[in-house]
Amino acid sequence: MNVGAGKTLLIKGPASVKLVSGSGKVFGYALTQKKPLFVRDSRALPIFTEVGMEVEVSLGEGSSVEVVDRDTIPDDWKALVTQTVRNHKKIVVMGGTDSGKTSLTTFIINSLVNEGKKACLVDLDLGQSNICPSTTVGLVWTTKPIPDLYQLKAELIAPVGFTSPSFAKEYHLKRAGELLGYAIKDEGYVVVDCDGWIEGKDAEEHKLNLLNVVKPSLVIFLGSAQHKVETYCKDAGIEHVVVSKPEYVYKRDQEARRRLRESSFRRYLKDGTIKTIPISWLRLSTIPMEAFNVEGNPLKHMQSLIEAYNLQNTTLPPLNAGSLSKNRVGILSYLFDAEERCLGIGLVGEVDNKRSTIKLYSKVETIPKKLVIGCMLLSYHGDELFVWTTHPTS
């Protein structure tokens, strides 16, 4: 396929693109002939060519390709990275769902590393996280440009347990603060990608509290700024700018967002193994206990979650605490070492009360010292089977 000079090839995944000749860039990342570009399902990437290019395109089910007769990166994005971003070491990107936040964050990070700078991405988007499993926040340092943030993998993750901060606002802020504490220990630029929850009084208040935790020197709003957040920036002396939403943004429905979450879970569960661990080796807790600082019984929490699943799925054979592993499903859980550092995720299966053991499916090889049991039921393949939002604490 030939694309003329000054044009953009828009690819909606799942798809792959191989550069044959010429040149092309994705958010400042230069394509090479040696390495194909993979576009994930439910994602779209723009490849702009100044001189023209020939590419081989392979399209998967539901994918598409379109050629646009111009560069689709907004001009104010280009001005932002050349005139403003380099003067700020701590940057926050805010915008609603499907506003182009991830695209802008990628463009900013690539602009920094292309100038030889070191950049830290702090991903606070629980539902559509790129570098860590959904329901967690994370950070990663990079010195190389990337076409998709998903190609990065978090060096540090912190579980929140839900796919939106609305369920645990204070806990989300606490975890964000912990990540920022690690990020500022190193020299470099910190770019914070927020979640897309911006509608309503609670969302606006949460963003204000988040800025108070992060303490950025630059806040970038996509499309428009929340009034109270903009006022806060003015009063606090924080530079803030509003930039355009890109004209071509892939709008995801609930099903597409679910597929992205499942892809994230799959990435961190694939090739896992089942371990049978004595309960006496573990400090057991639950997300409600951790997030809301309440007492609780982790094993009873498991049983209550399973009962809630059975009530909602009356047409399916009921599950019980002794049949999860046999059905290749489990309760999303978070593994910690002795220093309370999160090692990754796993799925808690059956509990053997006679032997006092618990089965855990995970690709984390280390036996955890602490296991925090969450509020979602997943298959070993990462499929979302049930999300519990009532959260009894006992």
Digit-coded pLDDT (tens) for 17-43: 999 999 999 999 999 999 999 999 989
The number of angstroms, rounded, from the C-alpha of 257 to the middle of its chain's C-alpha atoms is 11
Q: For residue 391, what pLDDT is reported?
A: 54
Number of neighbouring beta carbons within 10 Å of residue 83: 9
CA contacts within 13 A on the Cβ side of 255 = 0
Sequence ranges of the domains in the chain: 2-68, 75-243, 254-387
Residue 217 · residue 85 · CB < 8 Å: no
pLDDT averaged per 10 residues, the chain (length 394): 97 96 97 95 94 97 95 96 93 91 96 96 94 97 96 96 94 96 88 92 95 96 92 96 89 87 95 96 96 94 94 88 89 97 95 92 97 97 90 48
Q: For residue 361, what pLDDT is reported?
A: 97
Q: For residue 317, what pLDDT is reported?
A: 87
pLDDT tens per residue across span 43-65: 999 999 999 999 999 999 999 99
Top CATH class of 75-243 equals alpha beta
Q: For residue 42, what pLDDT is reported?
A: 84
Q: pTM of the prediction?
A: 0.94
Q: For residue 251, what pLDDT is reported?
A: 78
- Considering the segment(s) 2-68 as one domain, its CATH architecture is Sandwich (2.60)
